[in-house]
Amino acid sequence: MKFVDDFRDRELCEIVLEQIHRESKRSITIMEVCGGHTMALHRFGIPSLLPPTIDLLSGPGCPVCVTGRGFIDHAIRLAMQEKTAVCTYGDLIQVPGSESTLEKAKAGGADVRIVYSPMQCVDMAAWNEDMKFVFLGIGFETTAPASAIALRTAKELDLKNFFLFSAHKVMPQAMAAIIHAGVKVDAYLCPGHVSAITGTKMYEPLVGQFGVGCVVSGFEPLDLLQSILMLVKQHEHNNPVVEIQYTRAVKPEGNTKAQSILNQVFEPCDAWWRGLGILPQSGLKPSISFRKYDAVEFFDLSGDEPPDPPGCCCCEVLKGLIKPMDCKLFSIVCTPANPVGACMVSAEGACQSFFRYANS
């Protein structure tokens, strides 16, 4: 496959690996904060190829994993209402709320529809005026622009029956919160697609305040290995900086068009992160001129965040305090077929990634 095969070239990967082995002398903990990176690292068996000086930790970068159970509970209640359909990206439907999942609710008659784009939900709303449609807005700066365009289209069409239930989040606050929480991270493997939208300026405080190196990485093995090498070199030379490895997709200034749509449609709000609690100004909600499309304004979605299920260590896993296999429930009680915590549900979750791909 053009543009992919070259980045999976074994010889090139071996050259970079050899350099990593040669350069890495001091121990370094690298956290990846993107679920796509977690998955790619394990899918290509990269941890098995690294020297023992390098420790990889998975952070809170899977949007499904950081979404609270209360959000799922509300979504289920919405989908059970008369003439109300809840539209969602596929990965969310198996995530456990406090008592059920959207998948089980659907089997029980709730109107839950999987879509590939929020625009499908806008279309449904436009064609079915007697029903209400709620799109579950989940994900970071990567998926938020699509939700923003859906809201803008709904406004242009003057729809009265389309709503966004936003759990959209922004990344830098969480990356700072991890360090504040006392997790020992020497370097961040920064998310590729988030950075394609945001640019890299937002990582500068992490370098300035905490001395943590940041490299924005692509998702192919050669990308990941090259990014790890860049972080190792920074660490060995005590020179933490923000660098872009994923130059074919990411510019320092990011995608200014997407940023302007985000700024137009959304405003920052406090948001609840599984594992991290409430982080100020880390979420996105529809701004005042789009407020009538905000599901939180239209429906009754009040209530406290329910506690995590007993024994579940998703919070510690998301903070990188423990590895998935250190959780007592891992692979015994908590499996992809019967997930207890969200990290086992999502294909990008650290627990499922370890369960599916780890060698032992």
Partner 1 sequence: MHELIEKVFLKHFNDPLLLDQSDSAVMEVSESRLAFTTDAYVVQPMFFAGGNIGKLAVCGAVNDLVAAGAQPLFLSVAFIIEEGLELSELEIIVQTMAETASDAGVRIVCGDTKVVGKGQCDKLFITTSGIGQTQKEHEDIGSGKLIQPGDHIIINGTLGDHGMAVLAARNQLGFTSDLQSDCAPLNLMIQPLLDAGLPIHFMRDPTRGGLASVLCEITQNKNFGIEIDETLIPISEPVLGMCELYGFDPLYIANEGKMLMIVPDSSSFETLSLLQKSESGKNSAAIGRVTEKNPGRVMMKTPIGGTRLITMLTGEQLPRIC
**Residues whose CB falls within 8 Å of the CB of residue 263, separated by 6 or more in sequence, listed in order:** none
Q: Does 138 bind partner 1 (CB under 8 A)?
A: yes
| Of 88, 78, 76, 83, nearest in space to 118 by CA | 88
Contact 123/87 with Cβ under 8 angstroms?
Answer: no
What the block records as the tokens of 334 is 């908590």
Q: Is the dihedral of CA 112, 116, 122, 123 positive or negative?
A: negative
Name the one range near partner 1 by CB under 8 A: 70-78, 269-277, 289-297, 331-339: 331-339
Nearer to partner 1, 89 or 165 (CB): 89
**Residues whose CB falls within 8 Å of the CB of residue 148, separated by 6 or more in sequence, listed in order:** 261, 262, 264, 265, 266
Q: Does 64 bind partner 1 (CB under 8 A)?
A: yes
The DSSP bridge partners found for residue 132 are 84
Contact 75/87 with Cβ under 8 angstroms?
Answer: no
Which of 69, 77, 193, 323 is the binder for partner 1 (CB under 8 A)? 193
Name the one range near partner 1 by CB under 8 A: 23-31, 163-171, 310-318, 330-338: 330-338
β-bridge pairing 277-286 and 266-273 = antiparallel
Nearer to partner 1, 37 or 285 (CB): 37
d(CA 296, CA 293): 9
Q: Does 126 bind partner 1 (CB under 8 A)?
A: no
Rounded to a whole number of angstroms, the minimum distance from the CB of residue 238 to partner 1 is 30
Q: Does 135 bind partner 1 (CB under 8 A)?
A: no
Give phi and psi for 163, each to the nearest 5.
-135, 150
Q: Convert residues 16-55 into a mask of x (bound to partner 1 by CB under 8 A) and - (unbound).
A: --------------------x-----xxxxx-xx------
Nearer to partner 1, 8 or 292 (CB): 8
Roughly how many angstroms between the first and final C-alpha of the chain, as a whole number?
A: 31
Q: Does 337 bind partner 1 (CB under 8 A)?
A: yes
Q: Does 63 bind partner 1 (CB under 8 A)?
A: yes
Q: Does 13 bind partner 1 (CB under 8 A)?
A: yes
Which of 4, 130, 300, 304 is the binder for partner 1 (CB under 8 A)? 4
Q: Which residues of the shown chain bind partner 1 in the complex (CB under 8 A)?
A: 1, 4, 8, 10, 13-14, 36, 42-46, 48-49, 63-64, 89-94, 114-117, 120, 138-140, 142-143, 193, 221-222, 335-337, 347-348, 355-359
